[in-house]
Amino acid sequence: MVFCCADLLCSCWCSLAVIALIAAVWFFRDSRQISGIHEKHVLITGCDSGFGNLVARQLDRQGFLVIAVCLTETGASKLRATASPRLKTLQLNVTDSTSIDRALEYVRRETGGKGLWGLVNNAGVSVPIGPMDWMQLHDFKKVLDVNLTGVIAVTLKFLPLLKKAQGRVVNVASMLGRLSIIGGGYCLSKFGVEAFSDSLRRDMVHFGVKVSIIEPGFFKTQVTDLGLIEDDLKKRWSNLPEQVRRDYGDSYLQEYLKVQEFSMRMLASSDLSKVSSCMRHALSARHPRTRYAAGWDAKFLWIPLSYLPTCVVDIFTNALVPSPKPL
């Protein structure tokens, strides 16, 4: 019995030593940085505010040659005022092919034949969201055009420059690209970003281009602006056919709005650096990760939940939203 206990104790210590060694090797590998940052160009979309704005300023301070893409000149001028003279801004609408072509020519001139080290596809919208039968086809297209088709269009145009530099593609998906818990085009678009990124990563590995996916939880940005979401839901409710409103009941809208407000207040973090630090690692680490979970809710709630059986997920998600009370 004594020998058995001693053997068991020895086995435990050996197992802990192996785990510690693996963790140390992983940490060392994960912490190694690339060289020549001051010569590398990075293009970031959606820099008017939020994650894009923050990571553009952080990468600029780190020494990267940042080309920050904004939708508006107002957003571009505000960003320039807070960054170094190295940072360049560019107006671009990711849904406009002509605008993308102009951006490509600009980046070609800026990079001077070196190629593009990094592309961060960050631009995105969320509204409209809501029950599926509150939507029209154009509502889905509105979100998909920016969040998915725009990501694909920009990436395909800049791939030759990325292959030349053997650079990085960083696509911002969401934990809602793993769990579809709200209606509308947002979850559809983020599931699509996940699939596109996986296919792109496997194809580009032959050319030295690495692809990473960022999966944020809930954060306080323009995409999760509660005012915009509530205004759209109220307008949508007022325009619904009478029968659809009767199907849901008079109190449904107010209950749904309360759930939205509760979710944002309880889950949404104001620390956007949790996402920007993932973007920076994907661009500056020698061995970037395939996926980055950002935010406590993504790491400890949504992503673990996505691995559970569908019936369990359905029970949980159905508890989050109100049930219709037909008249």
Any idea which residues carry the catalytic annotation?
A: 186
Which residues have C-beta within 8 Å of that of residue 48, sequence separation ≥ 6? 70, 71, 72, 74, 75, 76, 79, 222
How buried is 250 (Cβ within 10 angstroms: 0-12 exposed, 13-18 middle, 19+ buried)?
A: exposed
Alpha helices in 45-184, H assignment, sequence order:
50-62, 73-81, 97-111, 137-144, 150-165
Which residues, listed in sequence order, are joined to residue 172 by a DSSP beta bridge?
A: 214
Tokens at 33, concatenated: 């940085």
If you ran DSSP here, which 8-state letter would residue 300 be given? I
Residues 209/162, Cβ–Cβ less than 8 Å: yes
Longest CA span, the chain? 78
Distance (Å) of CA 271 to CA 155, 267, 315: 28, 12, 30
- Cα-trace Rg, the chain: 23
Tokens at 181, concatenated: 């818990």
| Cα–Cα distance, 31 to 11 (Å, whole number) | 30
Is cis: bond before 322, omega within 30 of 0? no
Distance (Å) of CA 155 to CA 104, 110, 288: 11, 18, 18
